[in-house]
């Protein structure tokens, strides 16, 4: 997706997240993040927005060597949590919109440019946590198919293929992931040592397909795989669940 479109999506999903948490009980459990209450979710995404904005605003070339709680320097009280979140989100959006196309700063994923990486990563970080907030309060909204497909691509081609990440199996496996409404597919092959993703067809014994929105949420562990169409060797799903995720580190 175009960088400006990704920033628009970041703004859209961030504002929706703010609407969902406004007036909600901060102690509400977040079912998709079992160790978190809504307060923890808001602190996390608000901290991540500030963390990302620091790289963009300062054109910072070296990695920040601080945890989120150190970077934030004190979490807000519950009464101010929503306003604090919204301020951080809008600041990040503004920083990305104002950044030059040739912005040079630290990144951690391959992308055409640092601006493209931060726009894409923060758009999907925010969108998935918007889903978490909605799951907590019992609300649900959809996704633009192209944006959802882009989020599938980011997870499959950039995150689960990193060293020590992604599914593993004693026997070599290949799974095709297919977004039917955007006609895009990815083939993920893995064994007990590594995981590799390709946009070029590979013979596979398993296909996982669905709308871009449903598949997006399934691969990010926000919908059960039963919500999409499974064909072939379904035992492979056990290897996928719990390994398709992003960790703060």
Give CATH 3.30.1050.10 domain extents, the chain.
145-240
Exposure letters 49-87 (e unless 16+ CB within 10 A, then b): bbbbbbbbbeeeeeeeeeebeeebeebbeeeebbebbbe
pLDDT digits (tens, 9 = 90+) for 32-52: 999 999 999 999 999 999 999
Model confidence band, residue 249 (pLDDT cutoffs 50, 70, 90): very low
pLDDT digits (tens, 9 = 90+) for 200-244: 999 998 999 999 999 999 999 999 999 999 999 888 888 887 777
How confident is the model at residue 248, as a pLDDT?
53
- CATH number of this structure's domain 3-137: 1.20.120
Please determine, for residue 179, whether its predicted confidence score (pLDDT) is greater than 50.
Answer: yes
Model confidence band, residue 8 (pLDDT cutoffs 50, 70, 90): very high
What percentage of the chain exceeds 90 in pLDDT?
Answer: 85
Give CATH 1.20.120 domain extents, the chain.
3-137
User: From CA 133, how far away is CA 96, in angstroms rounded?
Assistant: 24
What fold is seen in the domain 145-240? Answer: Nonspecific Lipid-transfer Protein; Chain A (3.30.1050)
Whole-prediction pTM value? Answer: 0.95
User: From CA 164, how far away is CA 249, in angstroms rounded?
Assistant: 13
């Amino acid at each position: 997706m175009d960088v400006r479109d990704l920033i628009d999506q970041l703004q859209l999903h961030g504002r929706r997240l703010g609407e969902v948490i406004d007036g909600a009980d901060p102690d509400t459990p977040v079912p998709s993040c079992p160790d978190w209450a809504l307060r923890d979710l808001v602190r996390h995404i608000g901290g991540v927005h500030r963390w990302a904005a620091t790289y963009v605003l300062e054109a910072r070339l070296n990695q920040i060597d601080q945890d989120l709680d150190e970077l934030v320097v004190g979490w807000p009280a519950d009464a101010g949590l929503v306003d604090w979140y919204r301020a951080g989100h809008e600041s990040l959006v503004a920083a990305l919109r104002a950044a030059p196309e040739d912005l040079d700063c630290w990144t951690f994923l391959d992308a055409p440019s640092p601006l493209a990486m931060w726009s894409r990563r923060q758009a999907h970080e925010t969108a998935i946590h918007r889903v978490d907030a909605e799951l907590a309060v019992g609300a649900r909204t959809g996704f633009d198919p192209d944006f959802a497909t882009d989020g599938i691509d980011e997870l499959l081609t950039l995150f689960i293929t990193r060293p020590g990440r992604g599914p593993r199996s004693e026997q070599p496996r290949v799974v095709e992931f297919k977004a039917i409404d955007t006609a895009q597919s990815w083939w993920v092959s893995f064994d007990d040592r590594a995981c590799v993703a390709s946009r070029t067809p590979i013979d596979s014994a398993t296909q996982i397909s669905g709308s871009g929105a449903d598949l997006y949420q399934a691969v990010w562990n926000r919908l059960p795989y039963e919500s999409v169409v499974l064909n072939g060797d379904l035992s492979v799903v056990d290897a996928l669940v719990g390994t398709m995720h992003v960790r703060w580190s």
